[in-house]
Chain A
C-alpha cells in the first residue's frame, strides 16, 4: 500500500501540572502521511504549536520501538489505540481514516498521577517490584549457569511473562485500575523459574499487599488488560499469581 495523505482531528487532554484542573483542547492536522507513527503525528502537532507560539503537548516516549514502555495514552477509549499488541509508538496512521476524530487522554488511575498533559507518573509500578519482584542474589553469588536445567517450555512461558514492558496499559485499560496483570507477569515469571522458588511465597503476598496499599483496584476478571497489553501477556499469569497467593496465604507455614 503506497502512503496517502489524511487529515486528523484531535481532542487532547491538557493539564498544566498535577494540581491544575485539566481540559480538552481541539486541534486539526492536515496532510499527514499514513506511514507516520502516532507519536510522529504528535511531533508534527508540537512543531506546529511551537511555531504558533503555543505550548506543545507534553507526552512520554523514548525508544519508539515498542520496548521501553515509556509511551502510552488512551486513544478513543483504548490504551495504545485500536491495534492489538501494539504500543502507541508502533501504531501508524494507516490504521485511521481521513477525517477521523481522535480523543487522546492520559492513562488514568488513582495510583498514576498526571504530571502534565499526557505525562503520568507510574512509579507505583516500581514500588510493586520493590516489594519483591526480584531474586535476592548478590552479584558474584551465582552458581554456574548450566547447573540448573530448565525445560524449554518452562523457559518460554517465563519469557512470555517477562515480556512485560511496564507501560501501565493494563492498569489504564482495567475498568477497576487494577495492576494484577503487571503483578501476575512478574510473579509468574519468577514462580516458573527455579531461581525464583525460595522467595515465591513471600513474593506473592508482599507484592499484592503493596498493590493494595498504592491504591490500585481489584481484579474482576474482565480481561481488558490482556486485550490492551501491547505484549499480549495472558491473564493466565494472573491465575498463576492467584495460585501462588492461595498457597502462600493459606497453606504455607
Chain B
C-alpha cells in the first residue's frame, strides 16, 4: 500500500487555501443529518467538537473524566506559539514553520507544518475573543516571551497555566454547544473499541465507568483526540489516566501507527524519590537560563552539595558544549543527565538526579531578581521536595513528557481507516522527531478549531445523510469482543497488581527504548516485552467485578494495550538506525558522540500496519521531501 498524504498542489503558502476551495462542502441545512463522534475533550477534542457543532453537525463527545475540563491539556505550563510578530523581532509564518520543522529534525511534512504556522495567528485571536486572560503589557497589548531557546519572542502565555486557560476556553465553547443542544456529552465513558465495517469507521464501543455497562454509538465519522501514550513508561509527566487504548484499538482495526518510537524526554523534572512514586512533575525549562547543571566529579561522592568544592564539581554541559552550555536543547540535556547518572555520579537518595544550581545567579543578580524570575517554580519545588532551591541546589532528572508518534493521518487528518480522524497528540503530527516548547497547544487547537472542521466535510459528503449506516451485527460483534476481553482480564485472578506489572514494563522501556538506544538493548526489550505480557495475562490480580466502578479494571485494560504498544515502539526504534530528534541511536553518532541523522536512509515516516495477533506488523514508509527548506545537521558544539 502506498501511503497518500493527499498534499495539495501549488506553492507552500497557497496549499491550504487551494485545498479548502477544492474540498466539497455540505449544505448548512443538511449538516444536522450527520453525526460525528469525538473521543477526548482536551484542547483538540473540545475545540473540534465545539466548532463542528457550530457548523451544525450533531456531535457526541466522550470523555473518561467526570468533566471535559479535566483533560491533561490543562497541565501545559509554558505557552502557545504564534507567528504574530507583535515584537517586531523578525518573526514570520515562514520562520515559525522553519523553526518547527527544524526542531522536529526534518521528520515532518512541510505542507502540514506550514499550515500549522499559518493558522497559529487565528488561534490567538479566537482564544482572546473567548476571554482567555493572556498576559498583557502595561499598555494593554498582549505580552510575549521567548521560549525553549527560540530566537524570537512568539510565545503567548497566561502565567504558568496557559494550557489550563486555553482548555477552559475550548471547554466553555463546548459547554455553550451543549447548552444549545448541538453536543451531547458522555462523561466517565471510556472508548473500548472502534467499530469498522466495510473498511470504514462506523462508531465506537464504550464502557460506562460508573456502572460498567458496555454500549455502542454509531456515527458518520469518528474523531479521536485522546492524547499521547507517554504513560507506557509508567512514570511520566502525563496524567495518571492518560493512555493509548483508543488509539491502539483503532490501530488494531486498521489505522496505521506512525513513528511510535518518537518520544520526548524533558530534562528538568523533579526526580523520582521512592518506589511508591506515581508520577513525575515537570519544572519549566526556563530554569536552565540561570541554573548551572553539575554533578560531583567522582562517582560515589555522597557529600552534601555545599561541601563539594568548586574544583571537584563537573559542570558537564558547560564543559562539553561551551557554546550553548546549560541551554542545549532538551534531548541533549536529557541524554547527558542520564549518562552521568549511569556512570554513578548521580546525586540524591536514588542517585538518579543532577544538581541545578542557582548560587552563582543569586550572587550575580541578587536573590530578589532570581526570585522574581523563578519564585513560583521555587515554591512549587519546595512544596514537593521540602527543599529550598535558594539554600541548596535543585535536583532534576529527565522524564518522559510527550509522544510525537501516533496514528498516521493525511493532510485532512484522516487515518488509513476512512471516516476515522485523529487530532492533537494522538496523531503522529507536525512535530517530526521532536517538539518545540509551546507548540503542542498550538497544534491541538489548530487541528480542532481550524483544520478538521474544514476537512471533514469532504468525507461526510460521500456518506448518506440521516441515520448512520453501520449494521447492528457489527456493533453487537464488537461489543462482544470488548466483553470477552474484560471477562478474560477479571478471570485471571493472579498474584500481581496492575501497577506492579506496569512498573516493570516502564523500567524496561526506559532502559532500552529511552533517550539513547542501541540494537542490542532494543532486541532485549523486544524479547522481554512478550514475556511481561504473558505474565500479565496469567498473573494479574484485578479485584472487584466488571459491572461496577472498578478502577483496577480500567487500569488493567489500559496496561494490556500499553504492553502491546511497547513492543511496536521497540520495533520502530530498532528499525530507525539513525539518531534524530529526541533520540540518540548509539550506532549513529559523530566522532564527538553527537547525534547523526541519516537522511539518505531514514527521511520517511514509519507507518506500521497491524496484521493480527502474533504477526509482525508491516512497515510502510511515507517518504519526506523538502522543497522549501534544506535539512541541516544540528550542532551545539
| Residues of A participating in the B interface, judged by any CB pair closer than 8 Å | 1, 3, 16-17, 33, 35-37, 39-40, 43-44, 47, 49-51, 53-56, 58, 60-65, 67-70, 86, 90, 92, 94, 115-116, 119, 121-123, 125-126, 129-146, 148-152, 155-156, 158-159, 162-163, 165-166, 189-190, 193, 195-196
- Picked from B54, B75, B124, B449, the residue with its CB within 8 Å of the CB of A145 is B124
Q: In the complex, which of the residues A40, A139, A158 contacts B449, with contact meaning CB atoms closer than 8 Å?
A: A139
Are A51 and B129 CB-contacts (below 8 A) given A35-B274, A65-B75, A68-B70? no
Contact (Cβ within 8 A) A33 B65: no
Within the complex, which residue of A67, A163, A195 is in contact with B131, where a contact is CB–CB below 8 Å? A195
With known contacts A145-B84, A146-B141, A195-B128, A62–B161 Cβ distance under 8 A: no
From A116, which residue of chain B is reached at the shortest CB distance? B549
Q: How far is the CA of A54 from the CA of B187 in the complex (A)?
A: 28
B241: which A residues are within 8 A, CB to CB? 62
Q: Are B140 and A70 in contact (CB under 8 A)?
A: no
Given known A63-B75, A136-B176, A195-B128, contact A158–B133 (CB-CB < 8 A): yes
Question: Of A92, A133, A195, which contacts B129 at CB under 8 A?
Answer: A195
Q: Give 13 new A-B contacts, CB below 8 A, not counting A67-B74, A144-B125.
A: A33-B273, A36-B276, A40-B276, A58-B551, A86-B383, A126-B178, A126-B187, A129-B172, A130-B178, A137-B126, A142-B125, A143-B125, A163-B161
- The CA-CA distance from A51 to B500 in the complex, in Å, is 11
Asked whether any CB of chain A lies closer than 8 Å to the CB of B68, the reply is: yes
Q: Are A150 and B176 in contact (CB under 8 A)?
A: no
CB of B304 to closest CB in A, whole Å? 11
Contacts known (A62-B65, A134-B172); A35 close to B385, Cβ less than 8 A: yes
Q: Which of B247-255, B277-285, B290-298, B627-635 is the interface stretch?
A: B277-285
**How many residues of chain B have a CB within 8 Å of chain A?**
83
Q: A65, A122, A134: which contacts B67 (Cβ < 8 A)? A: A122
Cβ–Cβ < 8 Å partners of A69 in chain B:
67, 69-70
User: Of B159, B171, B239, B384, which contacts A62 at CB under 8 A?
Assistant: B239
CB–CB B136/A150 < 8 A: yes
**In the bound complex, how far is the Cα of B384 from the Cα of A36, in angstroms?**
9
A residues near B450, Cβ cutoff 8 Å: 139-140
B154: min CB distance to chain A, Å: 13
Chain A hits for B500, CB < 8 A: 47
Instruction: Give A166 to B167 CA distance when docked, in angstroms.
Output: 13
Nearest 7 CB-CB pairings of A with B: A149-B140, A142-B129, A134-B172, A142-B125, A158-B133, A159-B133, A155-B136
Contact code string B129-154 (vs A, CB < 8 Å = 1, else 0)? 11111111111111000000000000
Q: Which of B256-302 contact A (CB under 8 A)?
A: 273-274, 276-279, 281-282
B159 touches A189 (CB 8 A): no
Q: Is the CB of A143 within 8 A of B135?
A: no
Contacts of A130 in B (CB 8 A): 175-176, 178-179
With A and B bound together, what is the CA distance between A140 and B55 in angstroms? 11
Interchain CB contact (< 8 A) of B135 among A90, A115, A155:
A155
Interchain CA distance A41-B185 in the complex, whole Å: 33
Asked whether A133 lies within 8 Å of B67 as measured between CB atoms, the reply is no
Q: Does B210 contact A (CB under 8 A)?
A: yes
B130 close to A137 (CB less than 8 A): yes
Where chain A touches its partner, the secondary structure class is loop
Q: Is the CB of B281 within 8 A of A65?
A: yes
- B541 on interface, CB distance cutoff 8 Å: yes
Which listed residue (B54, B159, B240) contacts A138, Cβ 8 A? B54
| Chain A residues in 8 Å Cβ range of B605 | none
Instruction: Assess whether B429 is interfacial by the CB under 8 Å rule.
Output: no
B399 is an interface residue with CB less than 8 A from chain A: no
Which of B67, B86, B132 has the most A CB atoms < 10 Å from its CB?
Answer: B67
Q: Which residues of chain A have C-beta atoms less than 8 A from B66's C-beta? A: 60, 70, 121-123
Query: What are the residues of chain B within 8 A of A39 when measuring CB–CB?
Result: 278
Instruction: Tell me if B175 and A142 are in contact (CB < 8 A).
Output: no
B89 interface residue per 8 A CB criterion: no
- Cβ B74 vs Cβ A55 within 8 A: no
Chain B residue numbers with a CB within 8 Å of A134 are: 130-131, 172-173, 175-176
**Do residues B175 and A133 form an inter-chain contact, with CB atoms below 8 A?**
yes
What residue in chain A is nearest B279 (Cβ atoms)? A64
B50 within 8 A of A: yes
B9: chain A residues at CB < 8 Å are none
Q: Are A189 and B543 in contact (CB under 8 A)?
A: no
The answer to whether residues A155 and B274 also contact, given A17-B549, A62-B72, A62-B239 and a CB cut-off of 8 A, is no
Whether A165 contacts B136 in the complex (CB less than 8 A), given A140-B122, A143-B125, A146-B86, comes out as no
